[in-house]
Structure 1
Amino acid sequence: MSTLAQPGHLSGLIKALSFKQPFAWLIANGYLLVDDRSWGTQYRGPMLIHASKGLYEEYYQYIKAHTDVPIPDRDKLAYGGVIGIAKLVLCSKPGELPAGISREQRAHFGGVHQAYYGFLFAQATPLPLMPCAGKLGIFEIDIDQLLAAPPAAQAELF
């Protein structure tokens, strides 16, 4: 398990970013290292991976049909909460990549449009679903409050 996801490292406010499935699962499980956005960020560090309630059906079907990625069946994917943590190590437009990044890291920017920013993730670790609302852009989650919440099945009892 990554040091990012050890219990002592998950406390306080942690930055988070929402992704539709299957991108959330792919990033949380280390299969997708770069995601592109129309905006950039100066932030570097731990990032909770939040799975929104949406699914990009065409990408999901492509992964199932044309790759050996062991992605779960659609009904087994988690939605509506934190499903992983990774370290955001770089945010850059493909044409502005720093000289010091590896050839492998550089290759992951190949699918990013020149006008967009690629977010490069490392040390991804999946986590059990922690239901919570997502937001646009980078937002913060109080992980202590989230971990103290009742399990999803019991939430409506309180």
Structure 2
Amino acid sequence: MRALTVQQPWAWAIFNGKRIENRTQLWRYRGPLAIHAGQRLSDRGMGDERIHRAVRHWQRGVVAHGGATPLLRDALEYGVVLGVVDLVDCHPDAGCCAPWGEQAYVEHGGRERRRITHLVLERPRLLPEPIPCKGLLGLWTPPADITAQLEELTR
């Protein structure tokens, strides 16, 4: 099993309707992928209309089950593995994968536009309790004890 660190609220969104993760390189790996919520909050993500729509949908579900309207900031967790998805495809952007697929983005603080690769995610399985774990950049292998816990979700 491999893992991917994703900034919040994008990591939350993967378990709330987001089926495309945007990256800048093609990967050969296919299979179970642990989603790790990084330590940073993406200001761009918090202002993104796609996230706002997912939050409104999530809030309606919580209220429909008798809960109070939650705030996204209160629900976000950091430095934890949230769950597992299946990485089923990885392809360069071709104007596809709406609404989550992006075409290009500007690096943090720079002017360079980077081409985007779409990671196609299926079957999100959220853990009952997130697992604290230090993340890494790129595609990485979780520690053996965490992998053992996550393999329960891949069956």
TM superposition score normalised by structure 1: 0.68
Cα distance in 2 for partners of 1:144, 1:109 equals 32
| 40, 58, 65: which one aligns with 2:26 | 40
Classify 1:64/1:74 alpha carbon distance in 2 versus 1 (closer, same or farther; 3 Å): farther
Cα distance in 2 for partners of 1:145, 1:88 equals 19
Which one-letter code corresponds to 1:21 in the other structure? Q
In structure 1, the partner of 2:6 is 19
Classify 1:59/1:109 alpha carbon distance in 2 versus 1 (closer, same or farther; 3 Å): closer
Alpha-carbon shift at residue 49 of structure 1 (Å)? 0.2
**Following TM superposition, where does structure 1 have runs of at least 4 consecutive aligned residues deviating by more than 3 angstroms?**
61-66, 105-110, 145-148
1:81 equivalenced with 2:80 (yes/no) = yes
Question: RMSD value over aligned CA atoms?
Answer: 2.8
Higher helix share: 1
Unmatched 5+ residue regions in structure 2?
60-70, 105-113, 150-155
1:134 equivalenced with 2:135 (yes/no) = yes
Secondary structure of residue in 2 paired with 1:26: helix
Unmatched 5+ residue regions in structure 1?
1-13, 98-104, 149-158
TM superposition score normalised by structure 2: 0.69
Q: How does 1:140-151 map to 2 (within 5 A)?
A: 140-145=141-146
In structure 2, the partner of 1:9 is none
Q: How does 1:71-110 map to 2 (within 5 A)?
A: 72-95=71-94, 106-108=97-99, 110=101
In structure 2, the partner of 1:111 is 102
Number of residue pairs aligned between Structure 1 and Structure 2: 126
In structure 2, the partner of 1:70 is 58
Cα distance in 1 for partners of 2:13, 2:25 equals 21
Deviation by residue 1:74-119 (Cα, 9 ceiling, x = unmatched): 1321110100100000000023x9xxxxxxx844565233821110
Identity of paired residues, percent?
29
Cα distance in 2 for partners of 1:133, 1:140 equals 11
The answer as to whether partners of 2:5 and 2:136 remain within 8 angstroms in 1 is: yes
